[in-house]
Amino acid sequence: MVSNSKPKFDKIDKKIITLLQKDPALTHDEIAQLIQRSQPTVGIRLRKLLKTNMFGIQPGINFKAVDIHMARVRMDADCPERFFNVSKLCPYVLNCFLISGDYNLFMLLVSTDLKYIDSIVNDHYRIHEDIKKVEMDIVVDIANDLILPVKFKQQEEHNPINPDQCIKECPFCTQESLI
């Protein structure tokens, strides 16, 4: 069971975050004027939000604006935590979620080559004895901007098309073996 003791945003935090999401170039002074608080208050709140990881500034690519393949993958695994941990190491996995329902894992995979996504799903996961079922959909369009980091350098060093070699030699796969 997931703990519900995570910090919550108050109204002022939400106003600051909303303003920065609309215009990341706003200064503390400008934010302070817009929310009718002092500049030091804005600075203190932002430091607190950043320090507690409640708010982050993350460079990334806008998936709405680039030609890159993205897949939504849902899986039902006997030991979902194992695959969840492997997903943290794979450069093709944008993120992985433990979920409830008919499936217990949800992943977002990305690659400039659709063959790599297909290989990861079919040759790494679908054939694994602990995976009971897999569903994959290719994202064809995105309604809103989606800006997330992509591990291009690690993807270039990693060829998932040969799963035997990948699982034996890849620093991502050998950390938490899928064998």
What is the tens place of the pLDDT at every residue in 142-152? 999 999 999 99
Instruction: Give the architecture (CATH level 2) of 11-51.
Output: Orthogonal Bundle (1.10)
Instruction: Give the architecture (CATH level 2) of 61-175.
Output: 2-Layer Sandwich (3.30)
Instruction: Please give the C-alpha separations between residue 34 and each of 22, 31, 54, 69, 99, in angstroms, as whole numbers.
Output: 13, 5, 21, 39, 39
Which pLDDT does position 172 carry in this prediction?
A: 53
Which pLDDT does position 4 carry in this prediction?
A: 66
Which pLDDT does position 167 carry in this prediction?
A: 62
Positions of CATH 3.30.70.920 in the chain: 61-175
Which pLDDT does position 60 carry in this prediction?
A: 93
Per-residue pLDDT at 166 exceeds 80: no
Tell me the H-state helices in the chain. 11-22, 28-35, 39-51, 80-87, 114-119, 152-156, 163-169, 171-175
Positions of CATH 1.10.10 in the chain: 11-51
Across 110-117, average pLDDT: 95
Mean pLDDT of the chain: 89
Per-residue pLDDT at 73 exceeds 80: yes
Across 133-143, average pLDDT: 97
Residue 8, SS3? Answer: coil
Q: For 142, left (φ over 0), alpha (ψ -120 to 50), or beta?
A: beta
Per-residue pLDDT at 50 exceeds 60: yes
